[in-house]
């Protein structure tokens, strides 16, 4: 009987020696070329060069090495068909039983250079072809595409006397197709990005498993967390594993924290909605004012600081039950204090790699994709439409309120005092109801008799005067809202009649 | 000078004659094999067979045809390098300038058979290799992967005297990589499904563009709508193009409609939340009772009927302004009435192909994937924990309320009377607030003095007695809720003290 054969071509050479030893042990012949061939020889193993094996030199600077019928017949032949056996024999071809291949590092190259030629030269053609051929013929051929699979392969060979089980080969084939699909999705997305083709005819979204979750939003739903394009690098400094809902809240929190001026902002999230946001250079004040917006709802919530947590703040945070604390760095003494709460998850956002790619929502077999709503507002996005002009302080508060508004589920109304939310109305089909909710929060938790100015923002236009009327009755003296209602004029008239300041925004900010 | 060469291998032969004519016009030589070769000859064009071209027969039942250095050197050689030219000449190889290839119809095969061998045999190896090689070398080679590109190719050849522009080649190459990535993602997902590997190490999600949208959730965000796995087949019977928010609401509506007993249910959606749900065998009643839950919010909403719209219902629907009407069939006379509203979008859900695949939410470079929450409830999922036992009618209303609850954004409270919602509290960080909202809706729009039983459902447990207390004070006499609070016992005690019926559910239903 002929000896079994393995073709090896690996860009990633980690742990190569382990399988070489095992192949030798089971008297499996090696075929290789280029860098891998040299490495195998250097490690002291016997190996045939592909060029010698196929009887033809490597040509075109290595562009054509393995794209040869002797290789691919060896991989693709059906061992159960006599005719295939006969054909191979006649052509002096031989069966190839193992394909150990990983690809030119296209993705890695993308991260290290912007040189298009260099990037393109890292598109592997021969590798994926061998892997795809072997995967298709998994009934007879074992395909290994990652050093992580070496241990399993060695186990298999030892257990099966130099062979592998069908179920193992099928599993490796399944993995291999996710590899080739992933590889080409990264290439396609690179080309799409180059040509600014945001919504190509065929969209490929690929993710790397970060972790399987205990469950999804609810215990009867399975769930998992993936990263796209680059590693997210979310690491826990303390606490239990993150849950699906934790992750969901964390991204809600981070999108708001990112939008706030550096080193000033606190955000508290509950059920993916903010229930308190505040900016203040004084860390304790920033936290306390965010908390004051709805101290009841904050219970069990996610708090995100875009600044470093010090000891004093840690003591404050410790006073209530929170699920997750996100910080931008944390002092050792502060971590020590917070770590006393065994279940409190602490995350250092400083280390998280966030990149803004398109938002995706997929229900059933549908998929909605859109740019993230990450518009940065400046004065010129707004127009004063009332007779009253806002003071610079009022304007600051209005812009802050409008910014928070876009992160609140529609319909959203946000009341603000001193650059802190004091009432958030969210998730209502009726805008008037969102107004009422924000007002009742304010009345419940705030001292509204201190004569500090209260401003309001709405994520979309008011269809009627009634919402604005409610706000003004409750003490709001400046409002910012997108224009677009057929009753815009009525609303301006009402603003002037009541002497409030009214700003129209160019953009609305629905979020569902 | 040598003649230009095109290699052609197409599973999809539509419009092939068009490019054959044009290739002939520009004196471009054809190389092909198998079915494509036969078709070309049949259509009356000259063509060389691949086996003759490479000097080797097609072997292994056609498994190895094009995987030959003469083909791949011809595709991959760098025309700017003298050495490459020299090598080709020495080996009697020739440059190949056009690759017109589409693949074995793997996806189509998947839809038509469950025979694994047949499916596997439709994994194309040679085709994707040629396409990937040509795409990599787009600087010199034109790759055409779909009959839709033939017109453009013909334009190019006519304009450039038998050549193509670099920008065209690059565009075709970009498209080709989305094709190969897409092809392998379908294969990988097939294998993942076979092995029930819901969350593989690398997840590939691929979509087919249904349409570019005017914009996303807001005008400053671009957006597009894709289908996954199979065509959704959403077709408009009437009205303007669907918007991002329309689509989003439609899927919210359909998920609820699907969960209701057939031919009885009406769902009204606003801002992705239900603002009225009712089941009744009488179509008009079903609609009117759903509408009565919040007739103000229904304005501009999406209404979904899981039954056929007749004339009488159409007249009712016409009375208010709606954005979208979804039906399960519509009578001609009814369509005529509704079509008078030029802007009203009408969709026949009967024709929509919905399949339940995993839900995906992607923000930044994160991706949360979970099973859909499509649990069907039966009595045994609930446990009566109060002394009072529910009547069968009460139980029906409770299960209906709990079912609606899982589609309302958390925290969710749903009040029900006569299998119709009469108060929905949604999207609140505080459960007590959701109770208050649902109650205030009920008080605003319902006659609460008719002594019909009112029941309530909560999507998760009550952390305190206060929420339940509010509900009971407002006339609720039966409540269904998941268990799990440390105050469950207190809540049961309260139920018994006030004489209401209390059911605990095994599952909670967060939705964010």
pLDDT in tens, B198-211: 999 999 999 999 99
User: Which chain A residue lies closest to B244 (C-alpha atoms)?
Assistant: A368
Q: With residue A202 as reference, give the H or E element that holds it.
A: strand A202-213
User: Which chain B residue lies closest to A146 (C-alpha atoms)?
Assistant: B201
Is B195 within 8 Å of A244 when comparing Cβ atoms? no
Q: CA-CA distance, A314 to B30, in Å (whole number)? A: 74
Q: How sure is the predictor about B449, in pLDDT bands with cuts at 50, 70 and 90? A: confident
**Closest Cα of chain B to A297: distance in Å?**
5
* Site from B365, B377, B444 to mutate, A interface, most A CB atoms within 10 angstroms: B365
Q: Three-state SS for A383?
A: strand
Is B207 within 8 Å of A205 when comparing Cβ atoms? yes
Measured on CA atoms in the order A427, A429, A431, A435, is the torsion positive or negative?
negative
Give the pLDDT of residue A299. Answer: 94
Q: Is the pLDDT of residue A377 over 90?
A: no
Q: Is the pLDDT of residue A108 over 60?
A: yes
Closest CA to B269 of B245, B303, B219, B230: B303
Written as one string, the DSSP assignment of A86-134 is HHHHHTT-----EEEEE---HHHHHHH---HHHHHHT--SHHHHHHHHH
pLDDT > 90: what percent of chain A? Answer: 91
Q: Nearest CB to B226: which of A73, A208, A367?
A: A367
The string of pLDDT tens digits covering residues A419-440 is 999 999 999 999 999 999 999 9
The string of pLDDT tens digits covering residues B455-466 is 999 999 999 999
Question: Average of pLDDT values for B384-395?
Answer: 96
> Alpha helices of B45-165 — where are they, by DSSP H?
50-54, 69-76, 82-90, 106-112, 116-121, 126-136, 150-159
The string of pLDDT tens digits covering residues B118-165 is 999 999 999 999 999 999 999 999 999 999 999 999 999 999 999 999
pTM score? 0.95
Question: Average of pLDDT values for A209-223?
Answer: 96
Closest CA to B298 of B274, B318, B314: B274
Q: Which of residues 126-155 of B touch A (CB under 8 A)?
A: 128-129, 132-133, 135-136
**How wide is the angle at C-alpha A17 spanned by C-alphas A12 and A19, nearest 5°?**
90
Written as one string, the DSSP assignment of B254-304 is HHHHHHSPTTTEEEEEETTEEEEEEE-SSHHHHHHHHHHT-TTTTTTEEEE
Q: Is the pLDDT of residue A58 over 90?
A: no
Q: Which domains does chain A have, with CATH numbers?
A: 5-194 (3.40.50.1380), 232-351 (3.40.140.20), 379-505 (3.40.140.20)
**Closest Cα of chain B to A308: distance in Å?**
23
pLDDT > 70: what percent of chain B? Answer: 100
Q: Which residues contact B331 (CB under 8 A, 6 or more apart)?
A: B308, B309, B310, B311, B314
Q: Is A332 a catalytic residue?
A: no
Q: Which residues of A touch B84 (CB under 8 A)?
A: 60-61
Q: Using alpha carbons, list the distances in angstroms from residue A260 to A278, A420, A478, B145, B166.
A: 9, 12, 21, 47, 45
Q: Which residues of B touch A273 (CB under 8 A)?
A: 427-429
Q: Nearest CB to B370: which of A221, A270, A432?
A: A221
Q: Is the pLDDT of residue A198 over 60?
A: yes
Is B272 within 8 Å of A69 when comparing Cβ atoms? no
Q: Which of B24, B258, B271, B396 is catalytic?
A: B271
Q: Is A38 a catalytic residue?
A: no
Q: Nearest CB to B73: which of A60, A91, A173?
A: A60
Asked if A258 reaches chain B (Cβ–Cβ under 8 Å), the answer is no
Tokens encoding A483: 């224009």
Give the pLDDT of residue A451. Answer: 80
Is B199 within 8 Å of A212 when comparing Cβ atoms? yes
Q: Which of A136, A140, A312, A396 is catalytic?
A: A136
Q: How sure is the predictor about B57, in pLDDT bands with cuts at 50, 70 and 90? A: confident
Asked if B219 reaches chain A (Cβ–Cβ under 8 Å), the answer is yes
Q: Which of residues 233-252 of A touch B (CB under 8 A)?
A: 244-245, 247-248, 251
The string of pLDDT tens digits covering residues B338-354 is 999 999 999 999 889 99
Q: Which of residues 299-328 of B touch A (CB under 8 A)?
A: 301
Closest CA to A398 of A301, A296, A501: A501
Q: Which of residues 443-482 of A touch B (CB under 8 A)?
A: none
The string of pLDDT tens digits covering residues A228-267 is 988 999 989 999 999 999 999 999 999 999 999 999 999 9
Is A201 within 8 Å of B218 when comparing Cβ atoms? no
Question: Average of pLDDT values for A396-404?
Answer: 96
Is A365 within 8 Å of B178 when comparing Cβ atoms? no
Is B203 within 8 Å of A207 when comparing Cβ atoms? yes
The string of pLDDT tens digits covering residues A142-182 is 999 999 999 999 999 999 999 999 999 999 999 999 999 99
Q: Which of residues 165-184 of B touch A (CB under 8 A)?
A: 170-171, 173-175, 177-184
Q: CA-CA distance, B8 to B43, in Å (whole number)? A: 14
Give the pLDDT of residue B137. Answer: 97
Closest CA to B293 of B399, B395, B378, B400: B400
Is A362 within 8 Å of B59 when comparing Cβ atoms? no
Q: How sure is the predictor about B376, in pLDDT bands with cuts at 50, 70 and 90? A: confident
Q: Using alpha carbons, list the distances in angstroms from residue A34 to A49, A62, A65, A432.
A: 8, 8, 9, 71
Q: Which residues of A touch B458 (CB under 8 A)?
A: none
Q: CA-CA distance, B280 to A272, in Å (whole number)? A: 34
Q: How sure is the predictor about A387, in pLDDT bands with cuts at 50, 70 and 90? A: very high
Is B187 within 8 Å of A181 when comparing Cβ atoms? yes
Is A204 within 8 Å of B203 when comparing Cβ atoms? no
Q: Which residues of A touch B220 (CB under 8 A)?
A: 373, 375, 507
Calculate the average pLDDT of chain A.
95
Give the pLDDT of residue B379. Answer: 83
User: Which chain A residue lies closest to B273 (C-alpha atoms)?
Assistant: A429
Q: Which of residues 328-387 of A touch B (CB under 8 A)?
A: 353-373, 375
User: Which chain B residue lies closest to A253 (C-alpha atoms)?
Assistant: B363
Asked if A486 reaches chain B (Cβ–Cβ under 8 Å), the answer is no
Q: Is the pLDDT of residue A222 over 90?
A: yes
The string of pLDDT tens digits covering residues B15-37 is 999 999 999 999 999 999 989 99
Q: Is the pLDDT of residue B228 over 60?
A: yes
Question: Average of pLDDT values for B179-196?
Answer: 97
Q: Nearest CB to B198: which of A222, A227, A426?
A: A222
Closest CA to A431 of A396, A469, A394: A469
Q: CA-CA distance, B141 to B6, in Å (whole number)? A: 10
Yes or no: say if B216 and A370 are a contact pair by the CB < 8 Å rule: yes
ipTM of the complex: 0.94
Distance spanning both ends of chain A, measured CA to CA: 66
Closest CA to B274 of B256, B248, B247, B286: B256
Q: Is the pLDDT of residue B1 over 60?
A: no
User: Which chain A residue lies closest to B268 (C-alpha atoms)?
Assistant: A429
Q: Nearest CB to B223: which of A217, A229, A369?
A: A369
Q: With residue A203 as reference, give the H or E element that holds it.
A: strand A202-213
Give the pLDDT of residue A400. Answer: 96
The string of pLDDT tens digits covering residues A306-362 is 999 999 999 999 999 999 999 999 999 999 999 999 999 999 998 899 999 999 999
Give the pLDDT of residue A1. Answer: 57
């Amino acid at each position: 009987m002929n000896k079994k054969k393995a073709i090896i071509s690996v860009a990633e050479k980690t742990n190569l020696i382990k399988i070489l030893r095992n192949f030798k042990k089971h008297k499996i012949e090696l075929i290789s070329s280029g860098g891998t061939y040299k490495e195998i020889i250097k490690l002291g193993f016997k190996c045939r060069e592909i060029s010698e094996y196929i009887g033809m030199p490597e040509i075109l600077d290595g562009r054509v090495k393995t794209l040869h019928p002797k290789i691919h017949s060896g991989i693709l032949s059906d061992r159960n068909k006599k005719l295939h056996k006969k054909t191979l024999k006649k052509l002096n071809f031989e069966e190839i039983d193992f394909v150990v291949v990983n690809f030119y590092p296209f993705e890695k190259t993308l991260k290290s250079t912007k040189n298009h030629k260099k990037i393109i030269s890292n598109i592997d053609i021969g590798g994926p072809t061998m892997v795809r051929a072997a995967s298709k013929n998994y009934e007879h051929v074992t395909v290994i595409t990652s050093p992580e699979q070496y241990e399993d392969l060695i186990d298999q060979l030892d257990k099966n006397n130099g062979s592998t089980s069908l179920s193992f080969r099928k599993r490796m084939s399944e993995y291999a197709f996710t590899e080739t699909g992933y590889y080409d999705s990264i290439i396609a997305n690179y080309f799409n990005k180059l040509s600014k083709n945001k919504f190509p005819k065929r969209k490929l979204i690929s993710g790397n498993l970060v972790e399987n979750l205990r469950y999804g939003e609810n215990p009867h739903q399975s769930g998992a967390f993936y990263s796209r394009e680059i590693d997210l690098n979310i690491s826990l400094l303390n606490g239990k594993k993150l849950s699906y809902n934790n992750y969901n809240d964390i991204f809600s929190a981070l999108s708001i924290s990112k939008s706030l001026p550096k080193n000033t902002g606190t955000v508290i999230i509950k059920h993916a909605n903010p229930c308190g946001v505040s900016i203040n250079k004084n860390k304790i004040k920033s936290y306390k004012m965010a908390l004051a917006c709805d101290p009841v709802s904050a219970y069990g919530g996610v708090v995100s600081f875009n600044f470093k947590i010090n000891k004093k703040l840690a003591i404050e945070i410790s006073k209530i039950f929170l699920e997750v604390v996100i910080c931008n760095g944390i002092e050792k003494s502060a971590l020590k204090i917070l770590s006393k709460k065994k279940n409190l998850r602490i995350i250092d956002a400083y280390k998280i790699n966030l990149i803004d790619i398109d938002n995706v929502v997929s229900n059933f077999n549908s998929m909605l994709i859109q740019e993230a709503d990450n518009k940065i507002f400046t004065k010129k996005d707004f127009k004063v439409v009332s007779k009253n002009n806002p003071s610079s302080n009022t304007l600051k508060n209005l812009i802050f309120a409008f910014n928070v508004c876009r992160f609140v589920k529609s319909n959203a109304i946000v009341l603000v005092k001193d650059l802190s939310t004091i009432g958030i109305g969210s998730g209502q089909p009726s805008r008037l109801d969102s107004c009422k909710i924000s007002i009742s929060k304010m009345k419940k938790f705030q001292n509204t008799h201190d004569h500090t100015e209260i401003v309001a923002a709405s994520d979309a236009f008011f269809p009627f005067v009634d919402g604005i009327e409610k706000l003004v009755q409750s003490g709001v003296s400046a409002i910012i809202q997108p224009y677009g209602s057929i009753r815009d004029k009525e609303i301006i008239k009402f603003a002037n009649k009541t002497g409030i300041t009214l700003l129209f925004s160019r953009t609305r900010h629905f979020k569902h």
